[in-house]
Structure 1
């Protein structure tokens, strides 16, 4: 049978479909009209039209983080592609596989003074591991295959710019599936496992630092911690991997983490990094021997002084280590020290989470979120003061957490929550945002309403950029620009077709969040939040 889809735009969509892409996020623009037309005439891939290209890229990044699959965004040339850069920076920093497809000037105008023309390959160079400008319609499959394989294989950002006139050109090439790559822990040599075990057996004060990549190995890590006599610390991304009641879990480390954990972590003599690339500067032991497990060699980086790096999935490697530690003699005194830190922090968490007063203490808000959300909910946390309070107070169950890790962009929470709900429509999705971060993406409340994305947004409204205010005050500086002029968030939410609720005091906190969570509409809870100096601000 003759292949009927022969326009470049049609072939692009079919190729993305074969790559298991379900959505493309973007803003319609002149140079991608050919792509938009092709999207309008098929049902395999949904186009999500957002209000700003930065939101499109952040949604693609969040999808890639949540699923591990290819996230795709699109924009027109000039200001369209430049607006994508913030979201691409987030994907680049957190190693999320994202492909950006952008329109470019007509092929005969590239390199001229054509309006909005910019060399896009140079523009995206800091973020994209691969960026190509399509120079022939018949090269479209080759460049898409290369981009997708780099994105998925290296967990990287890639980019294709396509001249406006090429989308409608005919091509003879046909889409093809990506090659299937089979990975197995069986390739790990016994001598490599033995070398790691030799280091682990030297430990008298072992610690495990776990991240988002440890989610599939949480039970195995808990068993290893018990056998090895190790405390477990987590990055923010690893919070949902373990129940808060897990015996060896000391909660988070770093800004917003367990402040007492620093003392024991600094004493550790062997540290196992499981599914994490973050190394909390200022909180780490100076002379510890460090072992890192991750599925990509390029993840063994970030200036972590790793002695041994082992490539593989955490859930495949940990059982091999367990077998070699069956007769290990745990250090009971070290385990007692870890338990003391755990108990001390648990008691303080309980006290902080029950803070009273109006405006509402941020710790009390986090406790209310903890009490009301589903155990399998997805939390999208924005960047700012809200991040550290969630990290400090939240006693997680098995909730998954999305956040902007190394890039730390404000405005991440709402786009990430919308993407998560599109991916997991049957799960509860909650965005926890500050008033400053929300205002950066406020127009996209309309995007949620347009596509029926029923999420809950909880706004910690303290009328300030509190994290910046805290840091200015900690350094003895003078304030300017940290106070916010906020709109009435409830009225804006209602004008956008959302349910809006306002909370003045803790007495109605849980009830209001519960009402929002069970609303038939997307719902926003605006909480008058106290301006509290964060305890660990340096």
Structure 2
């Protein structure tokens, strides 16, 4: 037998091992998950990460003046988009400064990832400068926090951190030793998995639908995290015959012009809705765990819709709970109400409540004075801005006047809802303009709130962010002052020493106006909303106690 000789196939060499640095791997993983911005302040413990960011173009590092602003911007991005917000900082004091913004994200259930540097591996646990156990530091305001001790652990931990943040709507944190950033790893990035929470039909749905169909005096309580089209919520209200009540901070989700819209509940809300709400026999809460104890309905049955089962029965006992995508659940409920006949007597009460508040609101908003009445400032803003404006609110008296007197169309309102940190307004406006450069972005802040973050006026100029900041300048921490008077206390520490805000803004590269009359405010608003640079309006505001703080002020 003759053997036939065949040519041997050339040997194909195995692929070369893939080596990237830990910093490069982090950036690749973030890119794969759609991250386009990281907010932060540079420090030597994150030099490796900064170098990796500088060598690519998909992710932009937004350099701010203080780490608290970076974390608040990440939180605002997460609230506005529903996507992961990311911030980064130096070890020790850098991470400590992030904590305020991370607290905001944690309590408001915004998905945020924080990356901090850490001491070199051989210095962890020693008296090395700035070293502290960072996992213990962030424990109270995060759901995941790990120290990376080996380069091949980085991508597994990073993917777990991102999944935790997005699925649980929470804060995650990674500490990366400064020398680990430069170490090589062969690990490959993890693909982004589907992270939506589908609605699964269940016996609970039939129970919930029966409760809803049986209602005679229903109310819908809408949360600020709702991601449902306003038209769908309005259709549900009309089919069910319910009043639409906004939980704290949910203004703008449904237009105030809708005939069943009753505005907010509690401080800064419709003062007439509390009494109506108490007489509801059924309350449907959508993506909110907020439940003001002094306004609880006397005998209402409660149906809750939540994206996360951990949000059920946080503040109130429920009769039925539905977990999943709220838009899908509401659509199915709407389908189940096709044959429902609303109660005309209850609808009449809803409309009477709305009309009473509209008349009082207009009376408050039409007051003319100098310094300007806070409600008249809000009306002027409302009349000048676009219907799709993003409005960011700082915490304080200005926020309460806005929530009370602004008649929303379809504006998107961002605020620090449960953490309630002063200083939130400006960082949120900066983030909103980066996300939606085509939209008007207006920040409403008090003088005290702006003073906490005033250095980041420079950030707006650095990134050419054409926002409008309106400062309620009354020379005081007005809300704290009035609440102390209300409690019979002397308001120590509430008087402010203010700069000339217009001159400060001008020195930072802004257009600025000092406002003393309503005519000046209206003209300045018209100019500011079409300006080619950021604009600050320093509005001299009357020291008028907010109507929710019922007391006689005895003092200046």
Q: TM-score, normalised by structure 2?
A: 0.94
Q: Label 1:141 to 1:351 Cα distance change in 2 as closer, same or farther (>3 A).
A: same
SS of the residue corresponding to residue 61 of structure 2 reads: strand
Q: How does 1:145-224 map to 2 (within 5 A)?
A: 145-181=159-195, 183-185=197-199, 187-189=200-202, 191-224=203-236
Aligned position for 2:304: 292
Aligned to 1:528, which of 540, 544, 547? Answer: 540
Task: Determine the C-alpha separation between the residues in 2 that align with 1:316 and 1:363.
Answer: 38
Q: Match of 1:424?
A: 436
Deviation at 1:131, TM superposition (A): 0.3
Tell me what 2:264 maps to.
252
* Equivalent pair of 2:89/2:95 in contact (CA under 8 Å): yes
- Is the 1:63–1:69 Cα contact (8 Å) retained in structure 2? yes
Bigger CA radius of gyration: 2
RMSD: 1.4
Q: Does 1:119 align with 2:133?
A: yes
2:524 and 2:224 map into 1 onto residues whose CA distance is: 30
1:84 paired with 2:67, answer no
Q: Which moved more, 1:173-182 or 1:519-528?
A: 173-182
Residues 3 and 310 of structure 1: is their aligned pair in 2 closer, same or farther, counting only changes over 3 Å? Answer: farther
Higher mean displacement: 233-242 or 369-378: 233-242
Unaligned runs of 5+ in 1: none
In the aligned structure 1, how far is the partner of 2:152 from the partner of 2:370?
A: 64
Q: Give the aligned partner of residue 142 of structure 1.
A: 156
**What is the deviation of 1:212?**
2.6
Cα deviation 1:178-222 (Å, max 9, x = unaligned)? 22245433x223x33221121113322110111233342322221
Give aligned pairs, total: 536
How far apart are the structure 1 equivalents of 2:524 and 2:17? Answer: 55
Distance 2:314 2:441 in 1: 31
Looking at structure 1, the residues matched to 67 and 500 of structure 2 have their Cα atoms a distance apart, in angstroms, of: 25
Does the CA-based 8 Å contact 1:5-1:11 persist in structure 2?
no
From 365, 373, 390, give the equivalent of 1:361.
373
1:392 and 2:404 equivalent? Answer: yes
What secondary structure is seen at the aligned counterpart in 2 of 1:95? Answer: coil
Residue 387 (structure 1) shift = 1.1
Partner residue of 1:26 out of 22, 37, 40: 40
Closer/same/farther in 2, CA of residues 448 and 325 from structure 1, 3 Å limit: same
Alpha-carbon distance in structure 1 between the residues aligned to 2:198 and 2:164: 20
Structure 1 runs (4+) greater than 4 angstroms displaced: 1-5
How far apart are 1:314 and its partner, in Å? 2.4
Are 2:391 and 1:376 aligned?
Answer: no
How has the CA–CA distance of structure 1 residues 182 and 259 changed in structure 2, closer, same or farther, with 3 Å as cutoff? Answer: closer
Offset of 1:501 from its aligned partner? Answer: 0.8
Query: 2-side partners of 1:121 and 1:183: how far apart?
Result: 29
Supply the distance in 1 between the matched residues of 2:427 and 2:218 (Cα, whole angstroms): 39
Preserved CA contact (<8 Å) 1:154 1:298: no
Aligned counterparts of 1:103 and 1:224: Cα–Cα separation in 2: 49
Task: Tell me what 2:448 maps to.
Answer: 436
1:148-186 residue CA offsets vs partner (Å, 9 max, x unmatched):
00000000100000001001111111212222245433x
